[in-house]
A = this chain, B = another copy of it.
Amino acid sequence: MTDFSKTKAQFHIPEGMIYLDGNSLGPLPKAAPAKMQAVMQDEWGEMLITGWNKAGWMAQPTRVGDRIARLIGAEEGHVVMGDTLSIKVYQALASALEMRPERKVILSDSGNFPSDLYMAEGLIKSLGQGHELRVVAPEEVEANITEEVAVTLITEVDYRTGRLHDMAALTEKAHAAGALTVWDLAHTAGATDVRVAEAGADFAVGCTYKYLNGGPGAPAFIYVAPRHADVARPALSGWLGHEAPFAFDQSYRPGAGIERMRVGTPPVLALAALEAALDIWDMTDMAAIRAKSKELTTLFAEEVSRRCPMLTLASPEDPEARGSQVSFIFEEGYAAMQALIARGVIGDFRAPEIMRFGFTPLYIDAADVMRAVEIIDEVMTGKLWDREDYKARAAVT
């Protein structure tokens, strides 16, 4: 049993704020600043160059990767940290395409995060080999997994609606058609009880600044299934993915397994902040998080739907079919969200008319949900937003 009051106490949440935007940027773990100071002063400051060995910086990407592995149901030793999620998408996709040279279709869906589609587009143009990015509606993915498909590139949870794909079923379908799968876990890692190994995923990538609370711009991760780990050719063949980085050979030889997915020098300071955030995960497990998350999102979706009929639920009603967020469609959503934020309920807005609210059991409890519902009711029923804001379409990430 997880004691969520204890995990909640690990976070700094500003006084009076109900933070329902952890699906965009997680809050500050109270221990992170001290951890960062220690790494900066005791390691960088005192050890300087010897920190690479003495402080274990060189092994940090796989050491942290193993902690992520536990949260996404990956085998130990098969996740490594580094770069940004967009780079990791490119890396996984490039490797996967080479493993299916006779096929030319990358299958994705319109619920995917745009950067994934952009990176695929960029890769296809660079390759110049006649690949096609085929983007279908989320509900049509399964039917479109044909023998033309080299690889599926799917984000498990839709960043706007929270709709959850069935990873195991789609992966099975892909494998039956001879295709590979790249799963983007941006809205999954730390949010749902994802099990990449059980689902048979070939590649998985994700970021750590949302539900994992690693801080703004925290590093990404990549998982490669053990059966591919020594086969996949790294397109981004940097020196730290070399079999012997410090031999300074002139030719590249990929390192063993997941090591080859390392590229450049690891972001030591950023990973230190993430390590402090991951300590909190030692107090719980994904099964407990997922159970609590479903309770919270259900309570929120039901209460808001009941009290605010002008809001149309954009997320699946069935908690099993959604991630850890609840979204509503509302034409004046941008303005309404500004009014909520001014009253301490922090969600966000995604064009053209989605109001998004994320729920993280680590620091959000049922009392927070009910307080948020009261404020939303007040704002929506009282039409308390600024009409001048209506139609404004600026947005924060």
Contact = CB atoms under 8 A, between A and B. Distances in A.
Contact of A121 (B125, B207, B237): B237
A33 B41 contact: yes
Contacts of A82: 84
A366 to B, nearest CB: 21
A84 B121 CA distance: 22
A125 B251 CA distance: 13
A390 interface: no
Given A119-B238, A129-B128, A264 B220 contact: yes
B269 A86 contact: no
Given A269-B215, A270-B267, A396-B49, A84 B238 contact: yes
Contacts of A28: 40-41, 44-45
Contacts of A41: 12, 28, 33
A51 B350 CA distance: 17
Interface stretch (A17-25, A162-170, A280-288, A305-313): A17-25
A379 interface: no
B25 A90 contact: no
Nearest to A249: B114
Copies per complex? 2
Interface residues of A, number: 95
Interface in A78-117: 82-87, 90, 94, 98, 110, 113-115, 117
B114 A267 contact: no
B207 A86 contact: no
A86 B397 contact: no
Contacts of A238: 84, 86-87, 115, 118-119
Interface string A225-260: 000000001111111101001111111100000000
A127 B125 contact: no
Contacts of A45: 12, 14, 27-28
A122 B142 CA distance: 33
A101 to B, nearest CB: 9
Q: Can you list the 9 inter-chain pairs with the closest CB atoms, starting with the nearest?
A: A84-B264, A122-B237, A115-B239, A86-B238, A216-B268, A86-B264, A28-B45, A118-B252, A217-B267
Given A27-B44, A40-B215, A118-B242, 13 more contacts: A12-B45, A19-B48, A25-B48, A32-B40, A50-B396, A114-B249, A117-B250, A122-B237, A216-B269, A217-B267, A217-B269, A220-B264, A246-B351
